Each structure stands twice: as structure tokens, then as C-alpha cells.
């Protein structure tokens, strides 16, 4: 996080490495922007274990060639045996991995049929799975009131679910079908439709012991007049009140519990990127943070509910089970710069560890809307990562304005959103990558974007660029659903 003005050299906001841990292979970045390297940052170390060479103080006897031959053969046999054992272990691991993960990457498996499909094929009106579950188990939450909608493959439309006959048991089923665990379920309640709905999904309460979605049918009437508002997780609530929030401008130290969804992502005990908690098991970050050798989930540790980096040294952190980047991520343009991490063990929520709300379809974030960024990024271009979590207020910048020739000259794609100030002065910086851009709406905090890239830090006409979370929400739910 930086409030430094002026025009520093160009850089790409890749996952920041401290002076003791320089960045991995940097992609070209948004085309036309050369990589910035601080003269203080040393060359990238190779992570090869150092093996101490043992030397004896005893003199070495010079034996004859005949005496050495049996010893040499034994050494060769031992080496070959060790290599064979290692190869068997590696082979066993891959056999296990492919059996457990028949659908690799971000593909979704149709039940246990072994058929794999792209998330874009789920709920697209065309049946791809043998049992058709890709079209008859389609649910989503709509708008800031979390209105439950179910997709009708017949009319190829989304309809709100009428409250009549609805209960928490059905709510838990719907939440699980979106990828949430039953343990995070919050509530179901009735609300007035956001728009005048002419059709609803109604429950056939007389139909017993059949799948929830087979009980639903389209109707032009809803007796109660209310539709289901479904909260699958209690999200977007910090422990600090709104009055404290309103005074955070320009870049300041964060308070404990102020941004409880913020996490620090480490490799080899060094902060690399930020991320946001969306469930006890899932973290949203940037795809460019997990490129190349950083795509190995076992390299990462996740730290939550801690303000200072030095305090993380004494804590084990959470292991990562899976790293899944958006399948359409482009390293050059930073298109679709989003990734998910699934933890091996779920986080324990408390006042300092909570989830941020994912924006629902139908939500709009307006230009000039106040948002907040947070992270342990550098406080100046090319500087070291901050030991303490910092935060700052920024404003959303209209898409077309951010594409001005004098700003980013058409490089801002629909999967991106700009935030900051064209005059400069406040911005994300190296080390903030993957971290949250949030806003407060309807008394809840929503994840607007993930920190992606920028030219310089706090430079005039070069605001921060973030992944547009409204575009990614559907993909996130499908990945969560496929990896329950």
C-alpha cells in the first residue's frame, strides 16, 4: 500500500517478494509495460537444498583398482535401487492423484460417471452429463438481498423461488449445490421480489422423498407474494463499526478485525501475495500469484486473523490442498486474473477471521463508489513489503475513462476494474497482489475485485487494476461445487 506521488518506473504488480525473496519469473504483464526491478533486489535464488559436504580428517588410502571394483558396483546398485524406489513412489502418487482427480484443473465431473466438462457448459441449456444434472441442479443467489433463483432448462430462464412451503432443510441443499458446506448455512427468509416477477419456482410439497429440484415447477402465482432470501454463509461483517471505517482514507494501519477476510499467502515463510476468505475452506487470490512453480499447492501457507508479518513466524499457518487458476487467464494481458485456493483444513471463524461476501448477479458497482484496499504491500515503488497490514480508500473509475489514451489506452478488459485516483497518491503496490478491493452496500462488505496489476505505484493517470469479481462469481461457485 502506498501513498507516494510522482512518476516511478513501470512495474507489474506481481506477487511481491521481499528483499530476501525476489519475484519468480515475471510474465510480460499488460502488454507494453516493461518489468520494473529494484536495484536492491538480488537475483532469484534456486530453491535447491544445500547439502553439507562431509570431509574426513583421516588420510585416504590409495587402494588398487581391483580392490575398488566391488565397492563401486555396490555403490552403483545402491544408487539404482534408491532411484527405483523414488520412481515407484512418484508413480504411485500420480496414480493416486489421477484416480482422485479424474477431472483435472477446473473441469467439473458429472456425478461419478467420469465425464468431465467445462464450467461454461454447466447450466447453459444443453445437457452434457449422462444424468442431466448439469441442467437440472442450477441455483444462484441474485442481487444484494440474496434472492434464490433456480434455472429452468425448459424456458432457459432463471426464476425466483416462492417462499411457500420452503424451509431450512431445502435451504441447506441449495447452498451445498452452490459449493458451500452444510456447516456454514446461515438462514432462509422471505423478502419481496426485487422486480415484479411474473413467474416463480414453486415447491410441490405433496411430493415426498424425491430430489428438491424435481419438486420445483414453474408457476405464475406465489400465494405469500414473498420469495426466498438465502444466506449460505454469514459474510461481510467486520468487528469494527462503520464510523471507524469512514475515517480510513489515504493509507493507514489497519485494526484487528477491521478486514477479517484478509489473508497473507506465504511461500518459504515469506509473504508473496494477499487473498480474501470467501468460505472457511476457500481463498480468492490472483492467478498471476500462482503461476509456474507457485502453482504447487504444497508450497503455500495461509495466515488469517493476524496484522503483523513478524507474528506469523511463530504460527504454522494453514496448508493448501488445491490451487485452481481461471482456465482463461492470460499472463500477458492479465485477462481473467483470478485463482482459488482450497485449504486442507477449514479456518475457524472468530471476530478476526470471517468471510467477505461474493457479489451476486444483478449487483452493480457505480463509478466513483468508495472502496477499500488492504494488504502488506510496499509503501513505495520497489520498496520492501510492510510488516503491518495497511488499508486505504480508493474510488471506482469508469471503465471507458480508464481506457483513455492518457490512462491505459484500451488495455482495461471487461474482466478488469479500475480503482484509485487519476491524480495519483493512493494505490496498491507490489505485495498487495491478490488482495481484496471491497465496498460496503446494504450494511455488508462485498468483494469487488482482487488486486491484479498497475503501472507504477500511485502514479498520476495510472490507477490500480483489479480483477472484476462480478464476472468471476459464477466460475467461483462452479469450482466450489466441483470440489466439495
**Contact residues for 142 (Cβ-Cβ < 8 A; gap 6+):** 148, 149, 158, 160, 194, 360, 361, 362
Are 386 and 392 spatial neighbours (Cβ–Cβ below 8 Å)? no
Helix intervals (H) in 123-260: 133-136, 168-177, 212-215, 242-245
Q: Is 268 a catalytic residue?
A: no
Which comes out higher in pLDDT, residue 159 or 156?
159
Do the Cβ atoms of 338 and 450 come closer than 8 Å?
yes
Query: Residue 21's pLDDT is what?
Result: 40
Least confident range from 38-52, 200-214, 240-254, 459-473: namely: 38-52
Which helix H or strand E contains 80, and what residues bound it? helix 65-100
**Active-site residue identified among 164, 337, 427, 450:** 337
pLDDT at 243: 47
pLDDT of residue 417 exceeding 60? yes
C-alpha distances in Å from residue 235, one per residue of 38, 172, 311, 357, 364 = 39, 16, 26, 5, 18
* Mean pLDDT of all residues in 144-166: 91
Spatial distance between the Cα atoms of 431 and 320, rounded to a whole number of angstroms:
19
The region that residue 111 occupies, defined by phi over 0 for left and psi between -120 and 50 for alpha, beta otherwise, is: left
349-359 confidence digits (pLDDT tens): 999 999 999 99
Calculate the CA 304 to chain-centre distance. 14
The active-site residue out of 106, 288, 326, 335 is 288
Pair 385, 376: CB distance under 8 Å: yes
Banded model confidence at residue 107, pLDDT cuts 50, 70, 90? low
Mean of the pLDDT values across residues 47-70? Answer: 37
From CA 148, how far away is CA 251, in angstroms rounded? 38
- Our CA dihedral for 112, 478, 142, 284, rounded to 10 degrees, sits at 140
The 10s digit of each residue's pLDDT in 438-466 is 999 999 999 999 999 999 999 999 999 99
Distance of alpha carbon 333 from alpha carbon 312, whole angstroms? 33
* pLDDT at residue 54 tops 50: no
CA dist., res. 166 & res. 187, Å (int): 12
pLDDT confidence of residue 206 = 82
- pTM value? 0.78
Q: Judge whether 313 and 336 are in contact, CB under 8 Å.
A: no
Domain locations along the chain: 121-231, 242-482
Residue 242 confidence (pLDDT) above 50: no
Q: What element of type H or E holds 269? A: none
Please report, rounded to a whole number, the percentage of residues in the chain having pLDDT higher than 70.
75
Q: What is the CATH number of domain 121-231?
A: 3.10.250.10
Catalytic annotation present for 155: no
Q: State the Cα–Cα distance between residues 297 and 320, nearest whole angstrom.
A: 5
Average pLDDT over every residue of 250-272: 92
pLDDT for the residue 5: 42
Q: What is the pLDDT of residue 122?
A: 64
More confident call, 151 vs 408: 408
pLDDT tens by residue, 174-188: 999 899 998 999 999
**Binning pLDDT at 50, 70 and 90, where does residue 96 land?**
low
Residue 36 has pLDDT above 50, yes or no: no
Cα(302)–Cα(271) distance, integer angstroms: 10
Q: Which of 10-19, 348-357, 374-383 has the lowest mean pLDDT?
A: 10-19
Q: What are the cell numbers at 219? A: 408457476
- Residue 4 pLDDT exceeds 50: no
433 an active-site residue? yes
List residues bridging with 334 in a β-sheet.
none
pLDDT score, position 232 = 97
CA distance 84 to 99: 22
- Pair 287, 13: CB distance under 8 Å: no
State how far the Cα of 285 lies from the Cα of 272, in Å rounded to an integer.
Answer: 11
Once rounded to an integer, what is the mean pLDDT over residues 55-78? 54
The beta strand positions in 287-356, using DSSP E, are: 300-304, 318-325, 339-343
pLDDT computed for residue 2 by the predictor: 62
Residue 211 has pLDDT above 90, yes or no: no
Classify domain 242-482 by CATH number: 2.40.10.10
Of 433, 450, 452, 459, the active-site residue reads 433
Average pLDDT for 158-162:
95
Mean pLDDT rounded to a whole number for the chain: 81
CA distance 480 to 484: 6
The dihedral region occupied by 250, where left means phi > 0, alpha psi between -120 and 50, and beta the remainder, is left
Mean pLDDT of 166-171: 94
Region of residue 215 (left: phi > 0; alpha: psi -120 to 50; beta: else): alpha
Nearest-10 Cα torsion for 221, 226, 232, 233: 170
pLDDT at 135: 66
CB contact at 8 A, 440 and 405: no
Tens digits of per-residue pLDDT, 303-334?
999 999 999 998 999 999 999 999 999 999 99
How remote is the C-alpha of 380 from its chain's centroid?
25
262: pLDDT strictly greater than 50: yes
Separation CA 150–CA 200 (nearest Å): 9
- Average pLDDT, integer, range 279-290: 98
Amino acid at each position: 500500500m502506498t501513498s507516494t506521488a510522482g512518476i516511478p518506473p513501470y512495474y507489474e504488480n506481481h506477487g511481491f517478494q521481499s528483499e530476501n525473496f525476489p519475484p519468480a519469473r515475471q510474465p510480460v504483464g499488460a502488454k507494453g509495460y516493461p518489468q520494473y526491478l529494484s536495484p536492491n533486489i538480488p537475483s532469484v535464488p534456486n530453491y535447491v537444498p544445500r547439502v553439507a559436504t562431509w570431509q574426513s580428517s583421516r588420510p585416504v588410502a590409495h587402494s588398487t583398482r581391483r580392490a575398488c571394483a566391488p565397492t563401486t558396483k555396490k555403490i552403483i546398485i545402491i544408487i539404482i535401487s534408491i532411484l527405483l524406489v523414488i520412481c515407484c513412489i512418484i508413480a504411485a502418487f500420480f496414480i493416486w492423484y489421477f484416480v482422485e482427480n479424474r477431472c483435472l484443473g477446473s473441469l467439473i465431473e458429472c456425478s461419478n460417471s467420469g465425464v468431465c466438462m467445462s464450467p461454461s457448459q454447466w447450466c447453459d441449456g444443453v445437457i452434457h452429463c449422462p444424468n442431466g444434472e448439469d441442467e437440472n441442479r442450477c441455483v444462484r443467489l441474485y442481487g444484494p438481498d440474496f434472492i434464490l433463483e433456480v434455472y429452468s432448462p425448459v424456458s432457459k430462464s432463471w426464476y425466483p423461488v416462492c417462499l411457500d412451503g420452503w424451509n431450512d432443510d431445502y435451504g441447506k441443499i441449495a447452498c451445498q449445490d452452490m459449493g458451500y458446506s452444510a456447516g456454514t448455512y446461515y438462514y432462509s427468509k422471505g423478502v419481496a421480489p426485487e422486480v415484479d416477477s411474473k413467474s416463480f419456482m414453486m415447491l410441490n410439497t405433496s411430493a415426498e422423498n424425491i430430489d428438491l429440484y424435481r419438486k420445483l415447477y414453474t408457476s405464475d402465482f406465489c400465494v405469500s407474494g414473498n420469495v426466498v432470501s438465502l444466506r449460505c454463509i454469514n459474510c461481510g461483517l467486520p468487528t469494527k463499526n462503520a464510523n471507524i471505517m469512514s475515517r480510513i482514507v489515504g493509507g493507514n494501519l489497519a485494526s484487528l478485525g477491521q478486514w477479517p477476510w484478509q489473508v497473507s499467502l506465504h511461500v518459504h515463510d515469506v509473504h508473496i501475495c494477499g487473498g480474501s476468505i470467501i468460505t472457511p475452506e476457500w481463498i480468492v487470490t490472483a492467478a498471476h500469484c500462482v503461476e509456474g512453480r507457485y502453482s504447487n499447492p504444497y508450497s503455500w501457507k495461509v495466515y488469517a486473523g493476524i496484522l503483523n508479518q513478524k507474528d506469523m513466524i511463530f504460527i504454522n499457518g494453514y496448508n493448501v490442498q488445491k490451487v485452481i487458476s481461471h482456465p482463461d487467464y492470460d499472463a500477458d494481458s492479465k485477462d481473467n486474473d483470478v485463482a482459488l485456493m482450497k485449504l486442507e483444513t477449514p479456518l475457524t471463524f472468530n471476530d478476526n477471521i470471517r468471510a467477505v461476501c461474493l457479489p451476486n448477479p444483478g449487483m452493480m458497482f457505480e463509478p466513483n463508489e468508495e472502496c477499500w484496499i488492504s494488504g502488506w504491500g510496499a509503501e513505495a515503488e520497489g520498496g520492501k513489503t510492510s510488516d503491518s497490514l495497511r488499508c486505504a480508500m480508493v474510488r471506482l473509475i469508469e471503465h471507458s475513462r480508464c481506457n483513455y489514451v492518457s490512462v491505459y489506452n484500451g488495455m482495461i478488459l471487461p474482466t478488469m476494474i479500475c480503482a484509485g485516483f487519476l491524480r495519483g497518491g493512493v494505490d496498491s503496490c507490489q505485495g498487495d497482489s491478490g488482495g481484496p478491493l471491497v465496498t460496503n452496500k446494504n450494511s455488508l462488505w462485498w468483494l469487488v475485485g482482487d488486486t491484479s496489476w498497475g503501472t507504477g505505484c500511485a502514479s498520476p493517470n495510472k490507477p490500480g487494476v483489479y480483477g472484476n469479481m462480478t464476472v468471476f462469481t459464477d466460475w467461483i461457485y462452479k469450482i466450489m461445487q466441483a470440489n466439495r
